[in-house]
Amino acid sequence: MESTPPAQGQDDSQQQQQQQGVPSTGFPDVDMYRRRLARSENDADTWAGLLRAARASGSDQLLHEVYVDALKQYPSTGRLLAAFVELELSRGNKEGAESIFNNNLFRVPSIELWRSYLNYVLRANTDDQGSDLPPANRATVMDCYRLVLDNIGCDREAGQIWINFIAFIGSAQSHAPYEEQQKCGLLRETYQKAVAIPMLRVEEIWKGYDAFETRMDRVGAKKVLSKISPSYMTARTALRETNRLWDAIRATRAPSGLPTAPEWTPREIQHLDAWKQYLEWEVSNPLRLSDPAAVHQRVVYAYEQACMDLRFYPEVWIEFAEYFSSSGQQNEALAKLRTASSVLPSSLAVQFAYAEAAEMLKQLDVCKDVYEHVVRTMRLAIDRVTSRYSRKLARLERKLAHLSPKDDAGEGQASAAGAEAPAVPTPVPAPDSESEEDSSGGGESGADTSLASDSDAGGAAGPGRGSAQRRAEWRAVRARKAIERRMERVEARREGELKGKRAAYSLVWIMYLRHAQRTEGINAVRQLLRRPRAEPAGYLTYHLFVAAALMEYHVAKRADVAGKLFEYYAKAFPDSPEYIVEYMNYLISSGDDTNVRALFERIHGTGAADASDIWTMFADFEYSFGDMGAISKLDKRFIEKFKHESTLTRMATRYGYLDVDCVAVSDFGIPYRPEMHAAALVDPSDSRTRQDSAREEPSRPAENGKRDRRHSSSAAAAGLPNIAVASITGRYLNKNQLLASVTPGRFVRPAVGLLKELRPEAESVAESEAPRFAASDTGARPGHAPPAPNSRQLLDHGDVLSYVAASVAAPGTSAFDGAPLNADALLGTIMQLSALSPAVQSNYRPLSYMPWLGRADHPPHQAHGGGGPFGGRSRSRGRRGADGDGPGGGHNHPARHGARGGPAHRQPPYARSPARTGGGGGRHGDRGFRGRP
């Protein structure tokens, strides 16, 4: 029973379908997948989704249509063919099922399709009661089994078919002794064939064969089995290897199970490599078969399986044809390449291989048809790209033209107004509905909006000011700018696509010229060259004309004609460094020294003047064949042209040949001198130095909003001259950093106006007294931290660190409501100060002098664990430290009695002692008792 399609949103879906030229089916999921396929018909995942949606719809007619469409795209997928056969049989369409068998059975060596055919024949010739079959029906089934096993009997998954065939033979009724003998002989022959094939369930077949021979002749069974046992053992060993290879193939297969065009992802490369390993394994004859026909059958079947799975991979088809050719089967190789040519009409490798195979067999008409077909295909590809982007540009130009003349006049007024323009939203043109790339190619419309808003909002003095006419003018200006930026991006994409198309089109003509030269001679090449020369400008690259000129030089031995061709096409490619290099290379190889120097002088003032390849080639020419006057002048020009060049680098190049650079290595040590070795890696076409590039390169935000740590380190290193900075943002800091001066711009300044002076309640200490604070002086109870001293007194005595710690982390800070401060970052900044003021230096006290970080009534080398929140660090859970004055206190004598500390308290980095655990208030705290974390 067919399910009723949902009616909600059906009108909108049908309208969208009609806009894209796709008829609506009434099933939203099916329509969605069909719209996707209208944009990309080679998407295997979309085809798989369409098949699932069609099955879920419950409509047999819709599913039939989807299968027909899918088989047009994947005609050699056995799984689809077998499912289509079952659908036709379920609908009672036996003629349709038989038509599928007739058209695909011998063309697609798929075990799924052959198994479906076998089941169809069995259903037509047997009954459910299991009664004995009539002789005619038994003969039909027997022929069907033999046909199936002859075609796919060597398949790894054919074990069940062999078992069924053996059972079918054994079920025959014998009415005479000779019939029994014939049946036993047929069973023995079938068993012996089956146990020699590395397929699943081969062990089960061997056990059946063992039982059969034992039942027939218990005495002679051992002798017969001993002869067949080596083949069985080889097959069983090969089966283990086959399982490993097929596991790799299945693990890397596409989730859809359908052939996919290669995009050269890691998974696709692994899948291709897995198939190649299996093919190499089959070609190596792992079963050690003595019959070449049997080996050939297995290899051909393996290649057929690979071509079904890797349908859109050209190299598999070409290697299959090469195998036929190496076996002396040239016609079969040509037929296989003909099939590949129809499967991959846009593959240049397949088309060229097909033409060369036909040329080897002297089928020149086939060669000409192939080349003409490829020329038309590549030409149409360029036309399609050009027309598609021309339509896009025409639409954008029409949008520009639709702007009124008032908008054009207002553009100048708006640009002159500058900051008086009001901040109003920018109407950015929406993406064209006909172009899917514009709407999904990276969010260009959003980029237009942000660019227009960011670039123009800064000039707005304030919202609401200005007349309505002024706002309309600004909207028109921003809309025009957005359209112009979009046109630039469209033109850039067009050039990117046309670059590859032009190269491919030129390559096709070059291959066509080579074929004409081999088969008809140089005069045919000259006649054929007239056709590409008549192409519009921009359809071909310089490669074609270089190939034609060199054919005149090497084949016709006409150096004058080749030189004229090079000179003629130099006018078409005056700014192409590659063409100039080829032209100069030809002049050097032909010995035309005068024109080599003339060509080099002529490039100055063109786009090829800064090309490093041209300068390098000409320098090698002068160093090899010029005089010292010309060499000296060229070196001076080299040094003036490129900043990274010097007299030393020129000498190192001049005193070398090919890969012999012992002067540069031994005498000048260029590879060991970083500044010269790095300069040698700079592209000479860039006149700036590497340092200029690093200085002028703006900082770019990292992807996903994450900070670029490497770039931050580089920027920080640029701000710290003469200091080697390893990683400012990394875990470990370079110690030389602490000697660098502080750059105020690199640190966030707190809002000082929000700070309030901290007034602790502790007694003030006389300024004349030395600031030594003990627990007994403050009246604090044992086990509790003493109150902090007056912060002003600490600052007067120069203890800046103690003052900051007292202001940030001392007890009593719960009433602090100023700007939040990061104590770690602030103290880290202070520690990077190169020097304190002289007044502060004279009264500076060490960090261990702070009473709330440790008791000061002990010498530093005997300091016990301190109290307070920054007491000695302890990782142990236990009783309160015996000698500690607060939570986390601990003893500091590891040799005798390091005591357990109290609850662990983490210290900031600047207050940690070298000791990992135990006490640590002082700077000389030793390693204490290591407790449980």
For the segment 517-540, what is each residue's pLDDT rounded down to a tens digit? 999 999 999 999 999 999 988 899
Q: Is the pLDDT of residue 903 over 70?
A: no
* Residue 339 confidence (pLDDT): 95
Predicted confidence at residue 758, as pLDDT, reads 53
Joined together, the tokens standing for residue 802 give 């103690």
Comparing 108-117, 235-244, 642-651, 845-854, the range with the smallest average pLDDT is 845-854
In the chain, the amino acid numbered 36 is R
In degrees rounded to 5, what are phi and psi of residue 660? Answer: -90, 110
CA dist., res. 141 & res. 754, Å (int): 98
Reference 26, options 7, 49, 1; nearest CA is 7
- Give the whole-angstrom CA distance, residue 232 versus residue 239: 10
Q: Where are the beta strands (DSSP E) in 595-688?
A: none
Give the pLDDT band of residue 133 (cuts 50, 70, 90). confident
* Confidence at residue 475, expressed as pLDDT on a 0 to 100 scale: 86
Give, in order, the Cα–Cα distances in Å from 338 to each of 343, 352, 509.
9, 11, 21
pLDDT in tens, 327-354: 999 999 999 999 999 999 999 999 999 9
> Is the distance from CB of 830 to CB of 842 less than 8 angstroms?
no
Residue 588: name the closest of 626, 548, 636, 637 by CA. Answer: 626
Given a cut of 50, whether residue 643 has pLDDT beyond it is yes
Least confident of 103-107, 246-250, 259-263, 885-889: 885-889
- Asked if residue 414 lies in contact with residue 422, where contact means CB atoms within 8 angstroms, the answer is no
pLDDT at residue 837 is higher than 60: no
Per-residue pLDDT at 147 exceeds 80 = yes
Q: How far is 127 from 167, CA to CA, in rounded Å? A: 16
Number of H helices, E strands in the chain: 39, 0
pLDDT of residue 672: 85
Query: pLDDT at residue 875 above 50?
Result: no
pLDDT for residue 243: 95
In terms of residues, how long is the chain?
933
Bigger pLDDT: 470 vs 933: 470
List pLDDT tens digits, range 783-832: 444 444 555 555 555 555 555 555 554 444 444 455 555 666 666 666 66
**Residue 281 near residue 297, CB atoms below 8 Å:** no
> Of the candidates 88, 149, 152, 150, which has an alpha carbon nearest to the alpha carbon of residue 120?
88
For residue 204, pLDDT beyond 90: yes
- What confidence tens digit (pLDDT) does each residue in 758-790 have? 555 544 444 444 444 344 444 444 444 444 455
| Predicted pLDDT of residue 265 | 94
Per-residue pLDDT at 199: 95
Model confidence pLDDT, tens digit, residues 262-281: 999 999 999 999 999 999 99
The conformation of residue 220, written as its DSSP 8-state character, comes to T
Which segments of 555-628 are extended strands (E)? none
Check residue 707 and give its pLDDT: 37
Strand partners of residue 657: 660
Q: What is the reported pLDDT for 820?
A: 57
DSSP, res 736: G
Residue at 821: amino acid letter: L
The pLDDT of residue 295 is above 60: yes
pLDDT at 788: 47
Q: Which residue, among 84, 78, 79, 42, has the nearest Cα to 66 in the 3D structure?
A: 84
> How many angstroms separate the CA atoms of 882 and 891, rounded?
7
pLDDT at 345: 92
Residue 630 and residue 622 in contact, taking contact as beta carbons nearer than 8 Å: yes
Specify the pLDDT at position 140.
93
H or E element, residue 202: helix 202-216
Share of the chain above pLDDT 70, in %: 63
Closest by Cα among 95, 205, 219, 202 to 157: 202
What does the pLDDT read at residue 767? 41
Residue written as token pair 């060259």: 529
Tens of pLDDT, residue by residue over 24-56, are 878 899 999 999 998 888 899 999 999 999 999
Mean pLDDT of the chain: 74
> Is there a contact between 867 and 859 (Cβ–Cβ < 8 Å)?
no
Q: What is the distance between the alpha carbons of residues 489 and 443, in angstroms, rounded to a whole number?
A: 12
Express each pLDDT in 373-389 by its tens digit. Answer: 999 999 999 999 999 99
Beta bridge partners of 460: 420, 421
Q: For 685-737, what is each residue's pLDDT tens digit?
A: 443 333 333 333 333 333 333 334 333 334 333 443 433 333 333 333 343 43
What pTM was computed for the model? 0.66
Q: What is the pLDDT of residue 411?
A: 46
Helices (H), 58-127: 60-73, 78-90, 94-104, 111-125
Q: What is the mean pLDDT of residues 917-924?
A: 40
